[in-house]
Structure 1
Amino acid sequence: MDKRILEMMKELTEVPGVVGDESKVRKVMENHIKPYADEIHQDQLGSLIAVKNGNVQGPKIMITAHLDEVGFMVSDITDDGFIKFIPLGGWWSQVLLAQRVHIAAEDRLITGVIGSKPPHILSNEERNKVVQIKDMFVDIGASSREEALSFGVKPGDTIAPICPFTVMDNPKLLMAKAWDNRLGCAIAVEVLKRLQDKQHENIVYGVATVQEEVGIRGAKTAVNMINPDISFAIDVGIAGDVPGVNRNEARGVIGKGPQVVLYDSSMVPHKKLREFVVETAEELNLPFQYEALTAGGTDAGNTHLHGNGVPSLAFTIPTRYIHSHASIIHSDDFENTVELFVNLIEKLTSETVESLIK
């Protein structure tokens, strides 16, 4: 994979950007997408909107990916200096104990660890019991509430996982935190870049939304600014190609292409748009997979309900171990998703969009 793309991925994934505290990652996203955009805007909730003009009278094509990552918020500081927290987004408590975190204080990141008991002192009952998040704490090395406050920590600060961006021994496999959904953000940047030398009939909006993990909120405000004709959402999906997961739970395989979402709890996709995408992928011999989820949703869950309705479709990229400190993707899925989107935009015209809506 191109060194430039790897450096972009490293910057996007390593910066903290928990729900409601996306300003730092939004700045990184803006730095990377601005060279390829004709305009940059921001809605009042904090979503970033990059505009790439083909034909300024053409259809408005909205591509969304969310900036925010799952994390936590400081809810209290104990008298002896430990940090209590609440989750922002969906977490399984079993993945948390003894993991390192960053608390985003006002002017710096404070490193801590989610405390855990050594196995030597666990009773048999404790060994078989899942610790609840409400019973966990972060140790930042403070000996009192006053000392923790003097470090700069305060209630309301956000807490993000720590995981360095890592190219694995198989160089096509990339490990990082926050692939959900900095991967989609990186795809949006690369799509706008590759449209630089392409002729197309659309106004393309690369949108990095906020607060997706707590109810796809940023997409709801961003779509109001854009009023698109077509909406695509890019997010991560669940890879089922690991021990302990069967095909009925998750169908995705990393490296086998993006997943066209047939159904999720937030949206039934626009059928003609889905067929148009599948036909395009097949014409190009680009790999793709299908996904259907009874739980979860994407930005398209809100964009498709805008105004009189917006034909929408969601894509997910199979990702191992989402909503944890470290996830793994396959770089081929990134490349094939970018290639598919560039070709879709080249094929979309006013006539095509009108035929999809009828």
Structure 2
Amino acid sequence: MKDLQKLLEKLSNTHGISGYEGNVRTVMEDELREYADEIRTDKMGNLIATSYGSGPSVMIAAHMDEIGLMVKYIDENGFLRFVKIGGWFDPTIHSQRVIVHTVNGPVKGVVGCKPPHVMKEEERKKPPKAEDMFIDIGVTSKEEAEKLGVEVGSPISVDREFAALENNRVTGKAFDDRAGVAMVIQVMKEISRMELNVTVHAVGTVQEEVGLKGAKVSAFGLNPDVAIITETTISGDYPGIDKKDSAIEVGKGPAITIVDAAGRGLIADQGVIKWLKETARQHNIPYQLDVADGGTTDATAIHLTKEGIPSGVVSVPTRYIHSPVEVISMEDLSSCVELVVKAIENIDTYL
């Protein structure tokens, strides 16, 4: 578990918003190089690492991108206005430290907006909106910002590092979906020690947070017999959220998706669900069943590719998703890896 935690820490501390996943792809490629027969990057930027066998093909996929921001405008005093890339809850952005990724290297900044001391009473009653915020990088003019390499279109990520909590729980940014990427890498490492006849495509997809774009392209090119997407899912075990909104709990094991987005995204293949459930029971792996009203994953795009690809999702329960302080249990993450490994090992029971 310590090695898995170190891997997650490395991935979480790496920056890569949607469309700018290169640094994450490099880490993933370095980790997978000795465990795959072939590694390539497709035209969209998806990383595909394949271990060939004579039997059926399985795609295991996780998205490499994280939600972020992008410079939209630099005012005359050097303050940066931005747009959101991916699904943010605006108050989460306020008062964060950020990194502007420029052609000359990283530039630190902070997100600011009008302080409450000078707000009118009506303004103080409303949560701050991203459109009213700006980024202060410490310069005094647009020209000074541009000399640092900041320009319209510079991607921006949150400046937050991984940390360990009590009870084998950890916190950091971008666990959605670097936890899934860690799963994919660890699964490939473990199946490399097995004698399997299955072909496994380990895929790091791009631009999931802005439309499941990389999943569509990679799945079309691979056309596997079955796909398992490794993800995060919302837990409902902390103040402010009811079990009727999510019955998933941190520390209770992997979540197997039955339906997400109330069926508008994925209605998981029943054969895949049975395969995952029976594998978990056979190997005494605790698991939870996830039926969600909202949120989709790469499985939504993958299962609709070509004539259809049977797909399922194995997720690690996660608190505070789409914030810089997501929290998961390393025991859950380890169990997710075990479930996917054992499922691939037992693929003959599905196909």
Deviation per residue, 1:220-265 (Å, 9 max, x gap): 1111221100011111111111111101112221111111111113
Q: How well do the aligned residues superpose, as a CA RMSD in angstroms? A: 1.3
Please give the secondary structure, in 2, of the residue aligned with 1:69: coil
Which residue pairs with 1:136 in the alignment? 133
> For 1:189, which of 185, 192, 204 is the aligned residue?
185
> For 2:212, which of 205, 213, 216 is the aligned residue?
216
Asked if structure 2 preserves the Cα contact closer than 8 Å seen for 1:68 and 1:181, the reply is: yes
> What TM-score do you get using the length of structure 1 for normalisation?
0.94
1:8 aligned onto 2:7: yes
Which residue pairs with 1:272 in the alignment? 271
Following TM superposition, by how much is the alpha carbon of 1:107 offset from its aligned partner in structure 2, in angstroms?
3.1
Asked if structure 2 preserves the Cα contact closer than 8 Å seen for 1:199 and 1:346, the reply is: no
Which residue pairs with 2:154 in the alignment? 157
1:246 aligned onto 2:213: no
Please give the secondary structure, in 2, of the residue aligned with 1:49: strand
Aligned partners of 2:305, 2:285: CA distance in 1, in Å?
31
Which residue pairs with 1:201 in the alignment? 197
Which residue pairs with 1:356 in the alignment? none
Following TM superposition, by how much is the alpha carbon of 1:105 offset from its aligned partner in structure 2, in angstroms?
0.5
Which residue pairs with 1:180 in the alignment? 176
Following TM superposition, by how much is the alpha carbon of 1:6 offset from its aligned partner in structure 2, in angstroms?
2.6
Which residue pairs with 1:36 in the alignment? 35
Following TM superposition, by how much is the alpha carbon of 1:123 offset from its aligned partner in structure 2, in angstroms?
3.4
Structure 1 unaligned regions, length at least 5: 354-358
Which residue pairs with 1:68 in the alignment? 65
Following TM superposition, by how much is the alpha carbon of 1:307 offset from its aligned partner in structure 2, in angstroms?
1.5
Following TM superposition, by how much is the alpha carbon of 1:352 offset from its aligned partner in structure 2, in angstroms?
3.8
Asked if structure 2 preserves the Cα contact closer than 8 Å seen for 1:201 and 1:346, the reply is: no
Deviation per residue, 1:20-51 (Å, 9 max, x gap): 01111110111112121111011111010111
Which residue pairs with 2:144 in the alignment? 147
**Equivalent runs, 1:1-358 vs 2, <5 Å:** 1-2=1-2, 4-53=3-52, 55=53, 57-168=54-165, 170-264=166-260, 265-349=264-348, 352-353=350-351
Aligned partners of 1:352, 1:84: CA distance in 2, in Å?
51
Aligned partners of 1:348, 1:99: CA distance in 2, in Å?
45
Following TM superposition, by how much is the alpha carbon of 1:104 offset from its aligned partner in structure 2, in angstroms?
0.8
Following TM superposition, by how much is the alpha carbon of 1:275 offset from its aligned partner in structure 2, in angstroms?
1.1
- Count of residues paired in the alignment: 348
Asked if structure 2 preserves the Cα contact closer than 8 Å seen for 1:237 and 1:319, the reply is: yes
Following TM superposition, by how much is the alpha carbon of 1:330 offset from its aligned partner in structure 2, in angstroms?
0.3
Following TM superposition, by how much is the alpha carbon of 1:5 offset from its aligned partner in structure 2, in angstroms?
2.4
Q: Which region of structure 1 is more displaced relative to structure 2, 154-163 or 4-13? A: 4-13
Asked if structure 1 preserves the Cα contact closer than 8 Å seen for 2:37 and 2:50, the reply is: yes
Query: What letter corresponds to residue 268 of structure 1 in structure 2?
Result: I
Following TM superposition, by how much is the alpha carbon of 1:171 offset from its aligned partner in structure 2, in angstroms?
5.0
> What TM-score do you get using the length of structure 2 for normalisation?
0.96
Please give the secondary structure, in 2, of the residue aligned with 1:175: strand
Percent sequence identity over aligned pairs: 37
Query: What letter corresponds to residue 113 of structure 1 in structure 2?
Result: V
Deviation per residue, 1:60-97 (Å, 9 max, x gap): 10001000000011111111111111111101111111
Aligned partners of 1:252, 1:117: CA distance in 2, in Å?
38
Structure 2 unaligned regions, length at least 5: none
Query: What letter corresponds to residue 112 of structure 2 in structure 1?
Result: G
Deviation per residue, 1:293-339 (Å, 9 max, x gap): 22221111111111111111112211111111111110011110111
Query: What letter corresponds to residue 112 of structure 1 in structure 2?
Result: G
Query: What letter corresponds to residue 72 of structure 1 in structure 2?
Result: L
Query: What letter corresponds to residue 289 of structure 1 in structure 2?
Result: Q
Please give the secondary structure, in 2, of the residue aligned with 1:159: strand
Aligned partners of 1:106, 1:171: CA distance in 2, in Å?
41
Aligned partners of 1:180, 1:139: CA distance in 2, in Å?
27
Aligned partners of 2:61, 2:180: CA distance in 1, in Å?
8
